[in-house]
Amino acid sequence: MLSIEENLIIKNILLDDYEDDGSCKATFLGENLKVFGGIPKEIVDIKVMSRFDDNLICTVENVLKPSIDRVLPKCQYYLSCTGCQFQHIDYKKQLLIKRKFVIEKLSDIKGFSEDKLDFTVPSKNKYEYRNHARFSVSKTNKFKGNIGFVNRWSRKLVNISKCEIMNSKINSILPKLEGKLSGYSQFSVRVGINTDSYLIQPKIDEANGIDTGQQYYKEEVNGFSHKISSPSFFQVNTPQAENLARIVKNLLDLQGNEVAIDAFSGVGTFAVLLSKYVKKIYGIESSQSSINDAIYNSKSIENIEFIHSEVENISPDFFKENIDFVILDPSRKGVHKVALDWIEKLLPDRIVYVSCELKTLKRDLDRLTNNYSIRKVIPVDMFPHTKHVECIVSLYRTNKL
């Protein structure tokens, strides 16, 4: 095993393909390297940052043979912060990389083929797209009160004055709070992109001139007003979240007489939009905060019914009508096997699965494609300059039994 010195420089490394975490694979004297900030087939000098499992974690120190897809990162903290992995790559190439990630994960799924896979839907905003950030605050004496993000590998706080992927409203708040939060370990900022509303949690007494401690903020989503409470989940890229909901609606080819289920319904973004186009829609959500927001957001809509429950705890006998389609939009852990059991018993003609984690999407599609056929797969870039890709899969029932 290689003896690692802090900041060891290794020269003339040829980079191989991407890993799931956005690094490039490489080897040196029998060691496996994860190199961040590189592009496959580049030749680079690298700096060793740490060891993780059986890999050396490295960053590009010098590019000897650059890729034609290499661009200058916009962020001064890039690769130190570790929040972004792809700022050094041309944005059009990022979209192709994410499409390739989908192909690699789903290639052996029954019925999947590249002709069913769309090109990655680009984000309207490439920078300043995030409406939500959770910042850490330094507790060490020398840097007490400094604001930033914790490096994934060193676990040290990287002090920042601006994050290039955060909305400008969030960045405008940071200098006003710097050095005033020594009594806190973290704080969260969420802002309305289409409104002037925002929240900062927790309540910060030292935040001179800045209102903090709000319980919720308001956002306009596809023309509908949404209340979003502090504990509730909402997508971090508002324009792309609106786009996502419109894509789901278009995939369903609605006739107006359908009865539907929006599983993992959150604050009601899908259900509220679709309510105009269906006969009835049920929303299922486990978070009390989110279900309260969803009920508030749909208070003037008569054909929505929200159910506070884990999706796997629902009985198919609850639904008295025939269910025409189901939307699945789970967290990264995917859909519980028990939930897939009762959903299949309802025999919906269509399922639209919205995934933020390709590994669990693959697992669940392995199950669903026993009775459903993949009609279309659409990658969506919800998180520019990161390794993450959102993926929408449209399925139609083939087994009529």
Catalytic machinery residues:
356
How far apart (Å, rounded) are the C-alpha atoms in residues 138 and 141?
A: 8
How far apart (Å, rounded) are the C-alpha atoms in residues 258 and 323?
A: 8
SS3 192: coil
Q: CB count, 10 Å around CB of 317?
A: 8
What is the β-pairing status of strands 31-36 and 24-28?
antiparallel
For residue 399, with 0-12 CB atoms within 10 Å meaning exposed, 13-18 middle and 19 or more buried, which class applies? exposed
Cis peptide before 175 (omega within 30 of 0): no
SS3 55: strand
How far apart (Å, rounded) are the C-alpha atoms in residues 106 and 110?
A: 9
Q: CB count, 10 Å around CB of 40?
A: 15
